[in-house]
A = this chain, B = another copy of it.
């Protein structure tokens, strides 16, 4: 392609193909990967190295010079060396004056140093224009071209022009630059690739703990009790029956735990009579991971739905139904249709289906691309109104499922209530307290508080102090 156009190119004085030389300090793995990519995109590349001798690892097209020589050849210098070795740059201060230094470094731990690597670089070479970029891209992915994951490159820096130059290179490499503002954003950008689902930790540990508890409870209730009292071996319940008891309980409890902190916050605000005092730390953390809690709950609800729909395919279920039919046929009797049972069975299924449907809807609206397309009023409508309707439907589903078993002594094995009863405790508390909170008298006061009214203004001085302290 380029070959064909080369003779035309010669006629054109200022071609866009002629890209500016890029200098790379450091011949390590990432520097080399970036150099290959840059050369492929048409950038002349020059390496700056302590020991400037050609290496078989470095592309033939790239020159390898001393740091100072290399720096003089380019306006943009990519610092592909580790923070510990930045000090020598101080001696190059004069050469680097006005140059764009691209800090691509990462640390091994979150907040490893008091200031970000990029800011540290800017302090060492104050005459240069430092831009943070490329640290979120994997060297291996860059070279192999298998960028299935994010093509986003976070860029930040104090100099707009320098940032623009780096963003042009990012685009030329087929990546998407994202302007994150001034260099003070570098700390966050450097922490980013070290995280492994930070917002998901609490929800996942919480649900693992709860799952373990429910598992052992069900084990005792559904497996050990029958094997002791009736000498029956239901061990195969471990594969389908017990998971399908745990999943709905987990889904219901976790969904209720999504709405519990909001209720607690309202109570605290009503009690304190102000919105300007900070919530306790645990409540703040809880509120920030509500979305993740809800999605874990949805995962459990999804599993529950498939487990339930697969029930009629199970050999055990087919055998039991066949066995009952045969014994009725052999005893020559037919059982008449029970209208109440028909109502109960159909209503708890219908409630569950509708609850699951709304749950899925909530999940879809929490997809980033969908929630970015709704305004604040629409988001609140969906997540709050629809969320509570979902909680009501799912709680009702569980209540009707139980039917009149609550009063049945057979369901209390070893004085333990049936597991599903446990799962109803938190949802019922949330729904009762919420229905009290929306009484006009309380709701009106809460609205006033949230609009800034204070029962006791002196309280807020203290709270402002707290906020300011955290802002230091």
Least Cβ–Cβ distance between A309 and chain B, in angstroms: 5
Bound-state Cα–Cα, A239 to B344, Å: 9
Least Cβ–Cβ distance between A288 and chain B, in angstroms: 7
A323-375 residues with Cβ-Cβ distance < 8 A to B are 323-330, 332, 334-335, 337-339, 341-347, 349-350, 353-354, 356-357, 360-361, 366-375
Bound-state Cα–Cα, A145 to B286, Å: 12
Least Cβ–Cβ distance between A61 and chain B, in angstroms: 6
A342 contacts across to B, CB distance below 8 A: 236, 315-316, 319
Least Cβ–Cβ distance between A284 and chain B, in angstroms: 8
Can you tell how many copies of this chain the complex includes? 3
Q: Mark A461-472, 1 if CB is under 8 A from B, else 0.
A: 100110110111
A164-214 residues with Cβ-Cβ distance < 8 A to B are 164, 168, 171-172, 179-185, 187, 192-197
Instruction: Across the A-B interface, give the 10 residue pairs with the lowest CB-CB distance, nearest first.
Output: A369-B369, A315-B345, A171-B181, A149-B379, A239-B346, A4-B114, A312-B312, A329-B329, A240-B346, A236-B342
- The answer to whether A376 has its CB under 8 Å from any CB of chain B is yes
- The answer to whether A67 has its CB under 8 Å from any CB of chain B is no
How many residues of A sit at the interface, in one of the four size bands?
Answer: 35 or more
Bound-state Cα–Cα, A59 to B461, Å: 9
**A8-B115, A288-B146 given as contacts; is B307 within 8 A of A353 (CB)?**
yes
Q: Are B329 and A239 in contact (CB under 8 A)?
A: no
Of the listed stretches A92-100, A132-140, A424-432, A437-445, chain B binds A132-140
A470 contacts across to B, CB distance below 8 A: 40
**A39-B471, A184-B42, A305-B306 given as contacts; is B123 within 8 A of A12 (CB)?**
yes
Q: Are A379 and B467 in contact (CB under 8 A)?
A: no
Q: Are B122 and A377 in contact (CB under 8 A)?
A: no
- A239 touches which one: B160, B347, B451 (CB < 8 A)? B347
A369 contacts across to B, CB distance below 8 A: 367-370, 372
Q: Mark A28-61, 1 if CB is under 8 A from B, else 0.
A: 1100100010011010000000000000110111
- The answer to whether A322 has its CB under 8 Å from any CB of chain B is yes
Q: Mark A48-83, 1 if CB is under 8 A from B, else 0.
A: 000000001101110000000000000000000000
Q: Are B150 and A1 in contact (CB under 8 A)?
A: no
